[in-house]
């Protein structure tokens, strides 16, 4: 009887601990404020490759840092941009570079924001990712190397691509504040 109570108590403790871990919402409400760490000379003039890990750790919320600088993943269906539908452009949450236009966003049913195309040909870099025992293609910001997510070949026409992106990797600029159109 004592061992049953011990197992029960242990199971409850493990269950509560696991609940706390998985209950954390990925899109901490403390999304980075780009203006806090972008210089007056403009984001496109900053040498982003010179920024080290200590810099990113000091300016990004914990979840954003974990995902964008350590190639983590937010929990599915928790990101603030998963069901988001306002017109505009999605930018990198780390450096402000334009990445995706809202008119290329679609509901893939995966629990992460999905896009079938990028904002401009040089918006992102694609890198072979062989972690987790599978071969995938990682998507990173071409300006600051922030991990954004992965791209798959199962998206809608015309590209048949599905850029599966973490919400914490993104910020959104509404159309009225983002007058520049897609540069393709």
Catalytic amino acids? 164
Residue whose token pair is 């992965």:
150
Structure tokens belonging to residue 22: 């998985």
Quote the CA–CA distance of 104 and 119 in Å, as a whole number: 9
User: Cis peptide before 158, with omega less than 30 degrees from 0?
Assistant: yes
- Residue 116's CB: how many other CB atoms inside 10 A? 20
Reported as type and span, the H/E element at residue 162 is strand 162-165
DSSP 95-161: T--EEEEGGGEE--SSSS-EESS-SSTTSEEEEEE-GGGS-EEEEEETTT--EEEEEES---TTTT-
β-bridge partners, 171: 91
**Quick count: other Cβ atoms within 10 Å of Cβ 138?**
18
């Amino acid at each position: 009887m004592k061992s049953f109570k011990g197992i029960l108590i242990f199971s409850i403790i493990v269950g509560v601990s696991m609940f706390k871990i998985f209950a954390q919402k990925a899109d901490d409400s403390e999304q980075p404020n780009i203006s806090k760490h972008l210089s007056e000379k403009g984001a496109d003039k900053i040498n982003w490759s010179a920024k080290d890990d200590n810099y990113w750790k000091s300016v990004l919320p914990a979840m954003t840092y974990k995902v964008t600088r350590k190639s983590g993943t937010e929990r599915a269906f928790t990101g603030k941009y998963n069901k988001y539908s306002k017109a505009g452009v999605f930018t990198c949450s780390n450096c402000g570079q334009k990445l995706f236009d809202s008119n290329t966003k679609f509901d893939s049913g995966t629990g992460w924001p999905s896009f079938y195309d990028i904002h401009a040909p040089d918006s992102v870099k694609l890198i072979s990712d062989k972690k987790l025992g599978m071969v995938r293609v990682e998507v990173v910001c071409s300006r600051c190397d922030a991990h954004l997510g992965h791209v798959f070949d199962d998206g809608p026409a015309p590209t048949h691509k599905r850029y599966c992106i973490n919400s914490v990797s993104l910020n959104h600029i509404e159309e009225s504040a983002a007058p520049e159109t897609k540069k393709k």
